[in-house]
Amino acid sequence: MAVSPHSFPPRKRRPSAAAFVSPNFSAQALLDSLLCLCQEISAMKPLHFLLNRYSNSMIRKSRLLEVILEDFRRDRIVSLSASASLCLEEMYIVLQRIKTLIEDCSNGSKMWLLTQNQSIANNFHELTLDLSTLLDVFPVKDAGLTEDVEELFYLLRSHCSESFAFVDPRDEDLRFRVLKTIDRIRDEIVPDYTELSEIFSRIELRDSSSCREEIENLEDEVQNQTDEKSRSDVIALIGFVRYAKCVLYGASTPESGFQRKDSISDLALPADFRCPISLDLMHDPVVVATGHTYDRAAITLWIESGHNTCPKTGQTLSHTDLIPNRALKNLIAMWCRQERIPFDVTESNKGGINGVTLNKAALEAMRMTASFLVNKLATPLDSVNDANGVVYELRVLAKTDSGSRGFIAQAGALPLLVRHLISDHPTLQVNAVTTVLNLSILEANKSLIMETDGALIGVIEVLRSGATWEAKGNAAATIFSLSSVHSYRRRLGRKTRVIRGLLDLAKDGPISSKRDALVTILTLAGDRETVGRLIEGGVMETVSHVMNSLPEEAVTILEMVVRKGGFVAIASAFNLIKKLGAVLREGSDRARESAAAALVTMCRQGGSDMVTELASMAGIERVIWEMMGSGTMRGRRKAASLLRILRRWAAGLDRNGGLGGGDLTMVSSSRMVGDSTTIVSPSRGATVNS
């Protein structure tokens, strides 16, 4: 998979001291590089409230060192002794570490920085001591410094040697108050509003926007931690900040200038990042027995629906173990970070985030946030915008993990969301139906949605007459999620408005919404009774309409319908034979495979008219031969079956349709062995078993 280097985001994990190596520079280049580093550090802004003293001290020392280096290299050809060269090389490493530490403290999470205050203060102190040691051993007398600059050198050395570890008592007091508040949350005690307000004011998180940015930085920090306890502690901080944001600053939607995207529908999603089943971005890619990768949720649904084959190849799975594809997941996460898309981490069986077991504080913060938002939604709000803000916060919370979805549903959110599904406010409707979609991911919530008065009707109404395509697409995705339960799939498939809504969306919607509708149609088509309703509703016309724009999805649905729909489905698909032939010629491997499978079913059960229509296509035999040599394993088998059907038709031996006609000269010889046919291509000399 080719990934542009520009797709990779800025460094996330802080490098260790061992990650920096001595530069292999000439004396002049080494001094120039040191001077450049000093200038970069000198231009940095000191930290605002935490570790301000240390960052200010480092920046001042860097400015003094900059003056010394300028004098050292001025108006002379630089010549360094071995000891001076070694000393400056080590100084280069120390300055790199100083720069990196200040950058991380400036750009990272303020909450995490506060909780790690003592540790980071020790890092600053150790770097100061390292710099002091290098200044002590540097052969200053041989450097040829002017008298004033030499005095400045000794002053800098003195300041470094007199340094001692220091933690501001005010920072320690603030850290203690934060940890105490989190402990109270763990004990199910609601934090005091005044205490929250003072803490967040001192940390300089004074509005919703800064809190959103802090949550984003904490989510990045989860990836920086190597042990489960630290990662779990960071997740507790995320819950704490999210709760305080809602309580202190109220529910709000993102500002117009906020860069983080909530949807990927408008982005060019790399093909390798799409799940072959759902066609959406994979959040937890796993490898099945055949070696193909799918999103865990989609392939799990496929297997639980009774399938024992690989969706891409049709091969029987030797086992149903799902192996995490961590390399691909890391690439997807980095791409999402670059595009400013929240990468939905997938909960483990233990109810954690990204494989991390949530601690009690994190769970309680999540529960308190859900209860606060649902209670606020239950009270009369001043305006539609206020309601929209609360529903949006619920939408975001419901995306985080299974625990939040459970807490929101338990707090009674579903009946309150129902009334907003038919809202005249387009954004509120989108937020409401997307919240229901996010809640439906949790298995236990599916029955609640199906049983809550008006919930299913509301989702169907959005599908049929939603204010925006996004709302309609998310309604279709909700139906897809609910249909993972077999009894619900049959119930949904019996509703004419569901069938009509999905077909209309697939025909008229934008590409992203079409995909949502087509994937849902494919799922419902797993039930034979529903296939009949799909045919009556015009699924063949819809498939024909989208065949050019979304060939893979269209032919996959067609294959399912003709396989389960009987003669009526096959007869109604007659006009699509030439389009299927075009897919065989120009489509992707997956599309060609499904097209070949559909044609085999149609030709076997539809009689000689079907075969005649296929055989009348110019060059079809060459296309089939090429597919037998280069398609997927299942595609090659289906192509061989098609070739055998065409050969029998040409020889007038088709028993169903009587004598065929046509002059096909693509086979020079063949022999039958049991149920297997060996076919020899005259042009390639290739042998294919079907």
Check residue 21 and give its pLDDT. 61
Predicted model pTM: 0.74
pLDDT digits (tens, 9 = 90+) for 52-62: 888 898 999 99
Query: Is residue 323 helix, strand or coil?
Result: strand
Tokens matching residue 378: 């239950």
Check residue 405 and give its pLDDT. 92
Distances (CA, A) of 406 to 165, 388, 411, 438, 570: 46, 21, 9, 11, 44
Q: How far apart are CA 628 and CA 626, in angstroms?
A: 5
Tell me the one-letter amino acid at 476: A
> For every residue of 639-654, which 3-state class applies, written as one string?
HHHHHHHHHHHHCCCC
Q: What is the DSSP string of 623-644?
A: HHHHHHHHS-HHHHHHHHHHHH
Question: Is the separation of the CB atoms in 610 and 603 below 8 Å?
Answer: yes
H or E element that contains 63: helix 52-73
Query: Is residue 400 helix, strand or coil?
Result: coil
Neighbours of 379 (CB within 10 A): 7
Number of residues written out for the chain: 690
Report the candidate in 658, 641, 633 with the shortest Cα–Cα distance to residue 598.
Answer: 641
Tokens matching residue 522: 């494919």
Q: How far apart are CA 677 and CA 690, in angstroms?
A: 6
Neighbours of 422 (CB within 10 A): 16
Question: Is the separation of the CB atoms in 529 and 566 below 8 Å?
Answer: no
Report the candidate in 163, 179, 59 with the shortest Cα–Cα distance to residue 114.
Answer: 179
Instruction: Spell out, as residue ranges, where the chain has pLDDT lower than 50.
Output: 1-13, 256-266, 344-351, 354-355, 654-690
Neighbours of 129 (CB within 10 A): 16
Q: How far apart are CA 358 and CA 232, in angstroms?
A: 6
Reported as half-sphere exposure (CB side, CA atoms, 13 A), residue 25 has a value of 21
H or E element that contains 333: helix 326-338
Report the candidate in 254, 285, 261, 301 with the shortest Cα–Cα distance to residue 477.
Answer: 301
H or E element that contains 111: helix 110-115
Report the candidate in 321, 299, 325 with the shortest Cα–Cα distance to residue 310.
Answer: 299
> What DSSP state is assigned to residue 191?
P
Block residue for tokens 């061992």? 18
Q: Give residue limits of the domains in the chain.
A: 17-167, 170-249, 282-339
pLDDT digits (tens, 9 = 90+) for 601-634: 999 888 888 888 888 888 888 989 988 888 778 8
Q: How far apart are CA 325 and CA 1, in angstroms?
A: 14
Check residue 258 and give its pLDDT. 38
Question: Is the separation of the CB atoms in 587 and 552 below 8 Å?
Answer: yes
Q: What is the DSSP string of 422-460?
A: T-S-HHHHHHHHHHHHHHHTSHHHHHHHHHSTTHHHHHH
What burial letters (b/e) apply to 334-357, b meaning 16+ CB within 10 Å?
bbbbebebbbbbbbeeeebbbebe
Segments of 288-443 assigned E as strands: 293-295, 323-324
Strands lying side by side in the sheet with 669-673: 669-673, 676-680, 687-689
Q: How far apart are CA 408 and CA 388, in angstroms?
A: 16
What burial letters (b/e) apply to 79-117, b meaning 16+ CB within 10 Å?
ebeeebbebbbbbbbbbbbbbbbbbbbeebbbbbbbbbb
> What DSSP state is assigned to residue 509?
S
The radius of gyration of the chain from alpha carbons, rounded to an integer in Å, stands at 33
H or E element that contains 673: strand 669-673
Question: Is the separation of the CB atoms in 439 and 425 below 8 Å?
Answer: no
Q: How far apart are CA 54 and CA 128, in angstroms?
A: 9
Check residue 356 and give its pLDDT. 52
Q: How far apart are CA 595 and CA 224, in angstroms?
A: 46
pLDDT digits (tens, 9 = 90+) for 270-281: 778 888 776 678
CATH match for 282-339 among 3.30.40.10, 3.40.50.720, 3.90.1150.10, 3.40.50.150: 3.30.40.10
